[in-house]
Amino acid sequence: MPAACDSMLEDIEDIVSAEDLKPHDRQFVRKNVFPKVRKRNSQKNNQTDDDPPSDSIIPGVQKIWIRTWGCSHNNSDGEYMAGQLAAYGYKITDNSAEADLWLLNSCTVKNPAEDHFRNSIKKAQEGKKKVVLAGCVPQAQPRQDYLKGLSIIGVQQIDRVVEVVEETIKGHSVRLLGQKKDNGKRLGGARLDLPKIRKNPLIEIISINTGCLNACTYCKTKHARGDLASYPIEELVDRARQSFQEGVCEIWLTSEDTGAYGRDIGTDLPTLLWKLVEAIPEGAMLRLGMTNPPYILEHLEEMAKILNHPRVYAFLHIPVQSASDSVLMDMKREYCVADFKQVVDFLKEKVPGITIATDVICGFPGETDEDFQETMKLVEQYRFPSLFINQFYPRPGTPAAKMHQVPAAVKKQRTKDLSQLFHSYNPYDHKVGERQRVLVTEESFDSNYYVAHNPFYEQVLVPKDPLLMGKMVEVNIYEAGKHFMKGQPVSDARVYTASITRPLAKGEVSGLTEEFRHAPQNGTSWKAHPSAEIPVKTQLSSWMALQLPWQQEGGGLKILSVSLALLAVLVMFYYGGMKTEL
């Protein structure tokens, strides 16, 4: 028999179980089915598995552990999935051992991330856990051997995670990998007002678009996220306003390429940003995500004005990847080094103190020693305070994987050389003694400090005073390290609070509108994007049908009524010899 998930499944109805009859088998036996009541002393059905049969499981009460790898976009998807599951009744747990189901949200950028993902699947299976897979790995390559038989929720289908988890818990294998469209036009993805559990109640991550306009030869994410699809400005502004009303004081805009925003819907990034700036309250901040050089070049003047706004961090992440034009051409990056320098030089001139972060790939196929030295010179020239150094990993199915590879030892050495250069300078030493305004949003990894950021999104560690969390304060910088500064709050300085609304508690579900409060009780699933509503035919088991009334007032009487009705039908079968066509 073929594996459960050998063929592509388009909807929740496409569930596969080893006990299911094939459609033509079902048609053949249809006219010969006679319902029969099982007698008390009939032979018991031997269970070969420790798990109860699927029709005796009540979804919505299990514990779920969620693990996310990768970018802020993926983290936002994970927060949305956690929120919907919690709103439905599932308990989101930090303890993987006590969880009934693992939801693994993957990243396909580099081999190590996928290796961690694959190992987690194996560990879950060894621990007899139910598994649902999400993120870019299964979306890009759903037919990999180690994914066979497992449920998958696609990157544009996260609003239907409840259905997939529900069916997986009942023992079915479900795959939803389709794209959301409106009149044939691809949409940005699931709606933005879904329930959500923020990892940090003070930070809202908003995906402004999905996919991109490039076709980089090394990129696997393109296979998963696809071409550019942007959310309308009104929806993004509404989401930002809702976040501030829930106590959020910092918003991150994210996507595969924020600079390309709006090109598919007749608008652009500066237009969106000016609308968002109007919605930011005093004491709150907005951080822009990654943008590639080609799509920011034509908006440099407007971008400089926006980055100078007091409620927008003077920070921009612009990946260069290599300082060799020949390597950039092989990567199909659609810009040259001069374009990158033009963007950086212009912003440094017009936005004094701006932080420019960048990425570099070491050992891309065909990269010569001369090419690599050009990259070293670029880093030496600009001394980027934030530099993401990546050793090249050939991703399966990408053009770069078929190119002539640089020897592993050479890639490793170049990565080491660039890392040594990066650690040879300290970008913040000259800021000791300054008085800076910072927004406190997190706790440090070692739990010894609170983490704040100044107007240039530079990290400042401050004392762990609970009164500071979520506030904008002034500090005196007294120490600087490679990646941070330390500041002491100024006693006579004004403290800004971004919103009068109390932030949500950690783990609390946001965005619970009346629609979502009542959706589970009505036995319905979350709807798709309002402009592309898809009929949802969730298959509820008999136990699920009985379980849902429990969540309503008078649920016990409803269950009794249903039980009596079922009993009456069975009596009629037994004594009347009723013949029923199925």
Closest C-alpha to 10, from 174, 151, 158: 174
Query: Residue ranges of the domains in the chain?
Result: 63-178, 185-425, 430-497
Closest C-alpha to 506, from 241, 247, 135, 242: 247
User: Rounded to an integer, what distance in angstroms lies between the CA atom of residue 288 and that of residue 294?
Assistant: 16
State the pLDDT at residue 430: 96
Helical H runs in 246-358?
Answer: 269-279, 293-297, 300-307, 325-331, 337-350
| End-to-end CA gap in the chain | 25
Q: Are 547 and 58 in contact (CB under 8 A)?
A: yes
Give me the CATH topology for the region 430-497.
OB fold (Dihydrolipoamide Acetyltransferase, E2P) (2.40.50)
**Per-residue pLDDT at 31 exceeds 90:** no
Mind listing the pLDDT tens digit for each residue in 390-422?
A: 999 999 999 999 999 999 999 999 999 999 999
Within 10 Å of residue 427's Cβ, how many Cβ atoms?
Answer: 18
- The pLDDT-based confidence of 501 (bands split at 50, 70, 90) is confident
State the pLDDT at residue 52: 56
User: Rounded to an integer, what distance in angstroms lies between the CA atom of residue 18 and that of residue 2?
Assistant: 10
Q: Which residue has the higher pLDDT, 17 or 570?
A: 570
Q: pTM for this one?
A: 0.79
Give the homologous superfamily in CATH for domain 63-178: Methylthiotransferase, N-terminal domain (3.40.50.12160)
State the pLDDT at residue 7: 41
- The pLDDT-based confidence of 520 (bands split at 50, 70, 90) is very low
- The pLDDT-based confidence of 567 (bands split at 50, 70, 90) is low
Mind listing the pLDDT tens digit for each residue in 456-482?
A: 999 999 999 999 999 999 999 999 999
Within 10 Å of residue 477's Cβ, how many Cβ atoms?
Answer: 20
Write down the number of H helices and E strands in the chain: 17, 22
Give me the CATH topology for the region 185-425.
pyruvate-formate lyase- activating enzyme (3.80.30)
Mind listing the pLDDT tens digit for each residue in 531-549?
A: 333 333 333 332 232 233 3
Amino acid at 128: K
Within 10 Å of residue 566's Cβ, how many Cβ atoms?
Answer: 12
* Mean per-residue pLDDT over the chain, rounded: 83
State the pLDDT at residue 360: 98
Mind listing the pLDDT tens digit for each residue in 37-95?
A: 555 544 444 444 455 555 557 778 899 999 999 999 999 999 999 999 999 999 999 99
DSSP state of 238: H
State the pLDDT at residue 496: 82
User: Rounded to an integer, what distance in angstroms lies between the CA atom of residue 241 and that of residue 237?
Assistant: 6
Q: Which residue has the higher pLDDT, 109 or 18?
A: 109
Mean pLDDT of 359-387: 98
Q: Which residue has the higher pLDDT, 582 or 467?
A: 467
**Per-residue pLDDT at 28 exceeds 50:** no
Q: What Rg value do the Cα atoms of the chain yield, rounded? A: 27
User: Rounded to an integer, what distance in angstroms lies between the CA atom of residue 429 and that of residue 478?
Assistant: 10
- β-strand 250-254 against 285-287: which pairing, if any? parallel
User: Rounded to an integer, what distance in angstroms lies between the CA atom of residue 22 and that of residue 16?
Assistant: 10
State the pLDDT at residue 114: 92
Token pair 């040879």 in the structure block, residue? 424
In b/e form, how buried is each residue of 139-157, taking b as 16+ CB within 10 angstroms? Answer: bbbbeeeebeebbbbbbbb
- The pLDDT-based confidence of 301 (bands split at 50, 70, 90) is very high
Amino acid at 490: V
State the pLDDT at residue 438: 97
Mean pLDDT of 221-233: 92
**Per-residue pLDDT at 577 exceeds 80:** no
User: Rounded to an integer, what distance in angstroms lies between the CA atom of residue 266 and that of residue 259?
Assistant: 14
DSSP state of 549: H
Q: What angle do CA 426, 430, 433 make, to 5 degrees?
A: 130
